[in-house]
Amino acid sequence: MILPLSEFDIIARYFNREGLAARDDARFPLGIGDDCALIEVPDGCHLAVSMDVLGEDVHFPADAPADQVASKALAVNLSDLAAMGAEPAGFTLGLTLPRADEDWLAAFAEGLVPLSFRHDCPLIGGDITRGPLSVAIQVHGFVPRGKALARAGAQPGDLIFISGPLGAAGLGLELVTGRRRFEGHAPAVLGRLERAYYRPEPRVELGIRLRGLAVCAIDVSDGLLADLQHMARAAGVEMRLELNRIPVSPDCETVLGYNGALDYALSAGDDYELAFCAPEGKRKEIEALARELDLACCCIGVVAAGGGSVQCVDRDGRDVPAPKAAGYRHF
Ligand code: ADP
Ligand code: MG
């Protein structure tokens, strides 16, 4: 008789293993296996903590490949550390599963490995229960005191930057959910759109290097307009967004044309590029940093005095209405 896997079998077989779980790591005197993990926070640093919960049919299709779900869940968490200028340390994992499917678990655990390895961010604990599929990850990172890149901080005269093109992940979601038909487009284009949705690149190195250059930052998860709005509100300023400077995803443009692609760049989420503000005097340094990190980072507007809003402007600086005023909201 084959007995179903217990919670402890699952942890031992898939999660508490070499290459994923913390081992002989000075940052973690205790990892998986005790009542708590212990974290050694370096002197002079804050512990930065963030959590994202991804639910079936809300954040990923029910039939999404397990490795993609895992990778995305870790990526969006690392992106929050990036947006804070924090260096990843470790993560915990809360899994709710309808059943203990070994193939799914093996693929899921495998999907965590590349980003965990690349960002030196091992698994240090978690929990597993039965229920509808949901993946909760909490990341822990370190940031020197006084250096964190909060959402507030922009001042009139600062420039607004974005770390790369936008829109592909939002269109990728339409592709993986089958909500839109994509006949006649090259498989390479569709492959890149799907990848943009499932495998966003958390801008961790950029976030760390922006300490002392940027005055505020946010990762674009809900759409550029919505996320700039958060920074504008936090600082009580107006963000003047020059529409013609927004880098739209070339693949999005291929499928939708420029205007359609611009809509996605403004309002679709899931790209996880960093939006940040910096004084004009830091522009050269930021451009050099972007070249060094091979990022298509660019200036998309300026900060003005105001009351916490985003205003779209044309190339002559004249106010124009936002093409769409969305941003993804769950409720
Ligand atoms: P408790 O009963 O104290 O909640 P558990 O039996 O749930 O402890 O977990 C035992 C150990 O395994 C703990 O150290 C916990 O952090 C770890 N753990 C549980 N689930 C996971 C998981 N999905 N990934 C990594 N570690 C896990
Ligand atoms: Mg438990």
pLDDT along the chain (331 residues), means of 10: 77 96 97 97 98 91 93 98 98 95 96 98 96 96 98 98 98 93 94 96 98 98 96 98 97 96 94 98 98 98 96 95 59 43
Nearest residue (by CA) to ligand 1, atom 1, is: 35
Q: Which atom, in ligand 1's list, is nearest to the CA of 31?
A: 14
What is 96-109 written as a DSSP string?
A: EESS--HHHHHHHH
pTM value? 0.94
The residue written with tokens 């978690």 in the block is 126
pLDDT of residue 132: 93
Beta-strand pair 87-97/237-242: unpaired
Exposure of 199 in the CB half-sphere (CA atoms within 13 A)? 13
pLDDT of residue 58: 86
Please tell me the distance between residue 32's alpha carbon and the centre of ligand 1 in angstroms.
Answer: 7
pLDDT of residue 325: 46
Secondary structure of residue 40 in the 3-state scheme: coil
How far is Cα 83 from Cα 330, in angstroms, rounded to an integer?
A: 21
Nearest residue (by CA) to ligand 1, atom 3, is: 35
Burial of 284 (0-12, 13-18, 19+ CB in 10 A): exposed
Secondary structure of residue 195 in the 3-state scheme: helix
pLDDT of residue 115: 98
* Residues in CB range of 109: below 8 A, 6 or more apart: 14, 15, 17, 20, 70
Nearest residue (by CA) to ligand 1, atom 14, is: 33
Nearest to 298 by CA among 193, 166, 156, 148: 166
Secondary structure of residue 185 in the 3-state scheme: coil
How far is Cα 137 from Cα 50, in angstroms, rounded to an integer?
A: 8
Nearest residue (by CA) to ligand 1, atom 24, is: 126
pLDDT of residue 231: 98
pLDDT of residue 3: 59
pLDDT of residue 329: 44
Q: Which atom, in ligand 1's list, is nearest to the CA of 125?
A: 16
Q: 172-175 long-range contacts, Cβ below 8 Å, gap at least 24?
A: 172/196, 172/197, 172/198, 172/270, 173/197, 173/268, 173/270
Does the CB atom of residue 22 touch ligand 1 within 6 A? Answer: no
Ligand nearest to the CA of 96: 1
